[in-house]
Chain A
Amino acid sequence: MSQPLTADIRQSKPFSMDVHLQCGPGELLALVGPSGSGKSTVLRTIAGLHQAGEARVMCGEKIWQNGRTKTGLSPQQRRVGMVFQHYALFPHRNVLENVMLAIQDQPRDVREPRAREWLERTNMTGMEQRKPAQLSGGQRQRVALARALAREPDVLLLDEPFSAVDQQTRRKLYRELAQLRRTLKVPMLLVTHDINEVQQLADSLCLIHRGKTLQQGKVQQVINAPLTKETAKLLGHQNLIPARILRKESAQTIHELESGELLTGPPCEFPVGQSVILLIPPTTISIADSRQPPAGINCLRGFVSDAVGLGDELSVRLRLETVTKALRFRVPLHIARQSGITAGVTLDIRIRETDIHVMASDDD
């Protein structure tokens, strides 16, 4: 039966690592982080391809790697299915043989039908006799996936599998993987640095930076409510404004910006007086009527320091009159034209109070 996977990886050389993660059966956990953060090393340690200083990897009750006794199963014994970044197909073997080689432990007469079945499930029927060099990037990726799954692995590991294909193929592969994973009941780990990919494919997210786990949780929870400013930055959030908790009311919290202006947000657990960082998602910012003086809750005035058209949106950088930090957000191009938004103009905005997220300030 399918078992959850847990991994605790610690090492000091050649680079320091301190990663903890767990992934349930049927769950797709994305390991996210900038390049060089150690995501791939985590995957390789789980597969048994990297010997970390002290790693404990367990698949259900089975111990794959025991950090204390420095013993572990070989990659062959672990029953992992792995899709490598550049697919790593066997170049001298055709598609069918590539998949059949991964099920050498099966009786001879079972191998071919099973390989064909997995090639069918990955939409590769009709390509069985082709060599890897005769396939497109997307097709190679499908063969690599079929090869990984034909073993009926206890864990599926995907190491940036979509990084080497074009945008169109990538969208197609996302759909295929999403369909395929409905039938997969094993823990699945996906290494990526693409937050869009994570939002489309993953159930949960583990953010890794400089070899350390910063946060793990459900995808939307981690993205909308990062625990620290560092995490927020790594997830691509830009509007991070320092503030102080001024007052707490029953259904809202009043924050005081450095300028003395007040911003109302949802209730939070921080005490009055605490320095915090406010995360203001661009989607919470709307244009206010500039013919009237800024009034009401969460209305701020600033001047547009930068406005660049990106497709059918205008990317705006708004310098607030009294706050050193600028806010970034996007406005649909037709609305930007109507409101006359260009670089240099004064602009009033309104921030929706319910979606402001509060984090502890790094200074504390």
Chain B
Amino acid sequence: MSPFLVSFKLALWTSLILLPLGLLMGRWLAFSSCRHKSLIEAMLFLPLILPPTVIGYYLLQLFSPETFTGALSIKLLGGPLVFTFPGLVVASIVVNLPFAVQPIQLAFSALPLEVREAAWVSGLSPWKTWWHIELPLVWQGLLASSTLVFAHTLGEFGVVLLVGGNIEGVTRTVSIAIYDSVQAFDMRTAGWYSISLLLFSLAALLVVRRAQPAT
């Protein structure tokens, strides 16, 4: 499988899994007045500032068969997660959580409480309020979230290298292929991969900008 295909497959899985997760967490963070909210937010946004190698290191520790989580994954999946595609997906989800949650949290925070209250006193149940009022007003946030996650997954390097290794057709993504090509002085291939990623990322950011509600 070409590095492009591996990258796209990884980005797709990550986006698909993070969309509902980001929706739940983003909405909760926007509306909750829980005491520990700031701690949870801080933990959630850690991947934004930690070096990817640090996250990769801890994930390797988690995946190791000596730990409970590692043993559990072996029991469930029949083998260790490290250097596998599912392992890569788990790592990618952790790294991308802030990118998934933040746009959705912002979209829900921008929703005036009065509008939701108006829906309640108009007789709309919480579920109907979500469906008829909230969702149509936050869809730009969902689009921004998914696009960011997709684009960011394509560009992820450090964690992917540590957790996935560099197995051709399985865990070798575009960004690792670029690294490999440069190491082998194959600048032409590295150039093609790079310009493709650059153009795709630019397009993704344009989508995110366009999805911002008009002010």
Contacts and interface: CB of A to CB of B under 8 A. Distances in A.
A89 B133 CA distance: 10
B121 A82 contact: yes
Q: Chain A interface: which size bin?
A: 20 to 34
Nearest to A99: B122
A75 B120 contact: yes
A362 B33 CA distance: 43
Contact of B115 (A49, A81, A91, A102): A91
B123 A104 contact: yes
Contact of A101 (B112, B119, B125, B137): B119
A104 B115 contact: no
Interface in B41-61: none
A95 interface: no
A147 B137 contact: no
Nearest to B114: A88
For the complex, would chain B's binding face be called helix, strand, loop or mixed by DSSP majority?
helix
B124 interface: yes
Contacts of A85: 114
A84 B122 contact: no
B136 interface: yes
B114 A86 contact: yes
Interface string A194-210: 00000000000000000
21 contacts: A48-B120, A48-B121, A49-B117, A49-B120, A75-B121, A76-B124, A76-B125, A82-B118, A84-B118, A86-B114, A88-B118, A89-B115, A90-B133, A91-B115, A101-B124, A101-B132, A103-B123, A104-B123, A104-B128, A105-B123, A147-B122
Given A47-B117, A82-B117, A84-B117, 11 more contacts: A78-B121, A82-B121, A90-B115, A90-B119, A90-B132, A91-B115, A91-B137, A101-B119, A101-B124, A103-B123, A104-B123
Interface of B: 112, 114-115, 117-125, 128, 132-133, 136-137
Interface of A: 47-49, 74-76, 78-82, 84-86, 88-92, 101-105, 147, 151
